């Protein structure tokens, strides 16, 4: 049963803006914005790069490499953050004048994640003099040794949480490492490499590089479309700095200032540039980009982002779209299997009594288990790890967690108390990955459930939606919906406004087989409002006996054939 609670509100010492209604300012305050400067979204308000540990070291080494025209190799990751990070590093370095820049992304099915010794062996064929990791590397102790042994200088750029031992490198740029004074700890991998490029441009200016080469100094704003996509796709918290990065990227995209690959992905997803919002990047573009890394080779996605014309980009985007359709079919089968198993288990040992869930099937695709874990987490509201087989003896798991459980810390505790049980792990507070031996799954499942049980309270396992209150008929308008859209970006740790209230029901019908289309009105208003609830329980809805319902909802702008209308997106509803 979903509980709807009013979001805690914080009093403002003084108004944030004279241009915003008081209730909008209350929305901001409840999300931690209590000073007017936090509303500023201009690039001049971005945090400076010079407080980031080792960023100057990285810039100096890269500047030396450009002067000597050394061979540079980017080692990326196989998700959207990794793809955007790789594309940004390659294209920015080339724009700065590097002649020999290449990239390599480990195939997840052959080499797994990150800078492993095996991927260094593959990299050596390209004869790099400097390797730069993006969105990975902070845990690659063995891979760093392999670079050293091969005589390759290593620069690590990452944002994942570091372990007890750091790899040896010329520079490690990661806001989450010990001793880094950079105020924002929530940069995505693409944000970190963006800041490295800011520092590199500064270093090259000091050396009069652009003047000597008769080059225009590159405007790094041209890469903010990639920064926005990677930041939203990796679901990092949208603190003040990340909101500025995402806002600037989206504003550029809305005015047509975006690379052909992103334009192609948005076009194939049928998203309007002029009406673009952060959720379009997260739910329409990122899945198509991720599909390459999940089912095939992320090089396809990176090449799409690097394409220099729309025709080439559209061909690559079409392939990504086909892969995404295939991914959705695989996911649907896996989800049906997992949900059935968990529902069957509830007959004798309710899944709802377990503090955490581990699921595994020998037929599952390792590229899709992350999405499966997320779906199970959303339905049962507890930490979940989904496993897939890798060869005969190894399992790879993808973990997703709820707000009250730091999943990487849980894995670290298990590794500490049960040495050798987990062979490898890493990640964030809400998402992580791990490997273990197949025969150790029962022992790990028990250890995982016990570790989670120690750090949760029963109420933590009950889903809660936080509402910003009720809206009256004067606020339930298209103008207010457009105002909230203009206040984008909303996202992780800075959620889009959610409201709740009672409505009269005039019409209800299924669309697309699993979505509920509604026509509603406030009890004291004759104005009819369209609404939609996605992926509803078809055993409960449509409910034609229901004449009134209680709903938690968001405001949206529905545009069809040039006409805009207010639409409510129903997050939860129940008949009255």
**Residue 557: DSSP 8-state:** E
For the chain, give the mean pLDDT: 94
Give me the percent of the chain exceeding a pLDDT of 90: 84
CATH 3.40.50.720 fits 346-461, yes or no: no
How far is the CA of 188 from the CAs of 228, 286, 299, 341, in angstroms? 10, 14, 20, 35
Provide the angle, in degrees to the nearest 10, between the axes of the packed helices 286-295 and 299-306.
Answer: 140
Give the residue extent of every domain in the chain.
48-320, 346-461, 465-575
- How far is it, in rounded angstroms, from Cα 337 to Cα 369? 12
419, burial (CB in 10 Å: exposed 0-12, middle 13-18, buried 19+): exposed
Q: How does pLDDT run across 45-60, given as a tens digit for each residue?
A: 999 999 999 999 999 9
pLDDT given at position 350: 45
pLDDT at 185: 96
Q: Is 302 helix (H, G, I), strand (E, B) or coil?
A: helix
Dig out the tokens for 94 from the structure: 């080339």
How does pLDDT run across 488-502, given as a tens digit for each residue? 999 999 999 999 999
pTM of the entire structure?
Answer: 0.92
Phi then psi for 459, rounded to 5 degrees?
-65, -25
Q: Give the mean pLDDT of 286-299.
A: 92
Is 364's pLDDT higher than 50?
Answer: yes
Residue 325 buriedness (CB in 10 A; 0-12 / 13-18 / 19+): exposed
For residue range 518-546, list pLDDT tens digits in order. Answer: 999 999 999 999 999 999 999 999 999 99
Give the list of residues 6+ apart from residue 472 with CB closer than 8 angstroms, or none. 522
pLDDT band at 78 (very low <50, low <70, confident <90, very high): confident
* pLDDT tens track for 398-415: 999 998 999 999 999 999
What topology does CATH give the domain 48-320?
inorganic pyrophosphatase (n-terminal core) (3.90.1640)
What is the Rg, in whole angstroms, of the alpha carbon atoms belonging to the chain? 24
Segment 115-126 mean pLDDT: 95
Three-state SS at 426: strand
Helix-helix angle 260-268:310-345, to 10 degrees = 50
3-state secondary structure of 6: strand
Question: Has residue 112 got a pLDDT over 90?
Answer: no
The answer to whether the beta carbons of residues 516 and 553 sit under 8 Å apart is no
Q: What is the pLDDT of residue 346?
A: 59
| DSSP per residue, 367-424 | TTHHHHHHHHHHHH-S-EEEEEEETTTEEEEEEE--TT--HHHHHHHHHHHSTTS-SE
Class of the CATH domain delimited by 465-575:
mainly beta
Q: Please give the residue that has the higher pLDDT: either 61 or 16.
A: 61
Question: Rounded CA gap, 255 and 104, in Å?
Answer: 32
Q: Is 346-461 the same fold as 48-320?
A: no
| Per-residue pLDDT reduced to its tens digit, 244-278 | 999 999 999 999 999 999 999 999 999 999 989 99
- The pLDDT tens digits of the residues spanning 94-104 come to 999 999 999 99
Put the strands of the sheet holding 384-390 in their side by side order.
357-360, 384-390, 394-400, 431-437, 424-427
**What is the arithmetic mean of pLDDT over 150-174?**
95
> Cα separation of 27 and 22, whole Å?
9
pLDDT at 310 over 90: yes
Q: What is the 3-state secondary structure (H, E, C) of 89-101?
A: HHHHHHHCCCCCE
């Amino acid at each position: 049963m979903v509980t709807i609670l009013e979001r805690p509100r914080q009093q403002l010492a003084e108004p944030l803006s004279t241009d915003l209604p008081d209730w909008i300012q209350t929305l901001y305050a409840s999300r931690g914005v209590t000073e007017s400067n936090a509303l500023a979204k201009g690039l001049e308000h971005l945090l400076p790069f010079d407080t980031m540990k080792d960023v100057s070291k990285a810039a100096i080494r890269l500047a030396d490499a450009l002067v000597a025209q050394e061979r540079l190799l980017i080692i990326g990751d196989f998700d959207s953050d990794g793809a955007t990070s790789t594309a940004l590093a390659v294209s920015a370095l080339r724009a700065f004048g590097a002649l020999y820049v290449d990239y390599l992304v480990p195939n997840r099915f052959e080499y797994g994640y990150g800078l492993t010794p095996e991927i260094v062996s593959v990299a050596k064929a390209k004869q790099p003099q400097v390797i730069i990791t993006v969105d990975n590397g902070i845990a690659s102790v063995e891979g760093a040794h392999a670079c050293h042994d091969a005589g390759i200088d290593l620069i690590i750029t990452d944002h994942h949480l570091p372990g007890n031992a750091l790899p040896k490198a010329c520079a490690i740029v990661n806001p989450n490492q010990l001793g880094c004074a950079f105020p924002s700890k929530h940069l995505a991998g693409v944000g970190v490499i963006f800041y490295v490029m800011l520092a590199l441009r500064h270093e090259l200016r000091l050396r009069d590089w652009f003047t000597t080469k008769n080059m225009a100094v590159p405007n790094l704003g041209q890469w903010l479309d990639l920064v926005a996509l990677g930041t939203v796709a990796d679901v990092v918290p949208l603190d003040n700095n990340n909101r500025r990065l995402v806002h600037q990227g989206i504003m550029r995209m809305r005015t047509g200032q975006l690379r052909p690959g992103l334009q192609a992905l948005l076009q194939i997803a049928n998203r309007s540039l002029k009406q673009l919002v952060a959720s379009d990047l997260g739910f329409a573009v990122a899945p198509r980009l991720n599909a390459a890394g999940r089912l095939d080779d992320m090089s396809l996605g990176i090449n799409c982002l690097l394409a220099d014309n729309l025709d080439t980009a559209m061909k690559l985007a079409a392939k990504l779209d086909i892969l995404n359709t295939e991914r959705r079919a695989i996911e649907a089968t896996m989800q049906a299997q997992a949900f059935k198993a968990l529902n069957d288990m509830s007959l004798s040992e309710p899944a709802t009594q377990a503090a955490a869930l581990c699921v595994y099937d020998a037929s599952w695709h390792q590229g899709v288990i992350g999405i499966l874990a997320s779906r199970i987490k959303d339905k049962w509201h507890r930490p979940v790890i989904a496993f897939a087989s890798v060869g005969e003896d190894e399992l790879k798991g993808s973990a997703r967690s709820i707000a009250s459980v730091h999943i990487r810390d849980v894995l670290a505790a298990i590794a500490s108390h049960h040495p050798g049980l987990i062979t490898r792990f890493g990640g964030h507070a809400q998402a992580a990955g791990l490997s273990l031996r197949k025969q150790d799954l029962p022992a790990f499942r028990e250890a995982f459930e016990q570790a989670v049980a120690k750090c949760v309270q029963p109420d933590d396992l009950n889903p809660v939606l936080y509402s910003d209150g009720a809206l009256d008929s004067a606020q339930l308008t298209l103008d207010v919906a457009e105002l909230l859209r203009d206040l984008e970006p909303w996202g992780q740790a800075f959620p889009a406004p959610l409201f709740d209230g009672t409505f009269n029901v005039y019409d209800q019908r299924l669309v697309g087989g699993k979505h509920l289309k509604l026509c509603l009105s406030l009890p004291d208003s004759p104005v009819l409002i369209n609404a939609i609830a996605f992926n509803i329980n078809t055993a409960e809805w449509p409910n034609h006996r229901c004449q009134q319902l209680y709903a938690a909802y968001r405001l949206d702008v529905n545009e069809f054939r040039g006409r805009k209308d207010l639409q409510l997106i129903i997050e939860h509803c129940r008949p009255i």
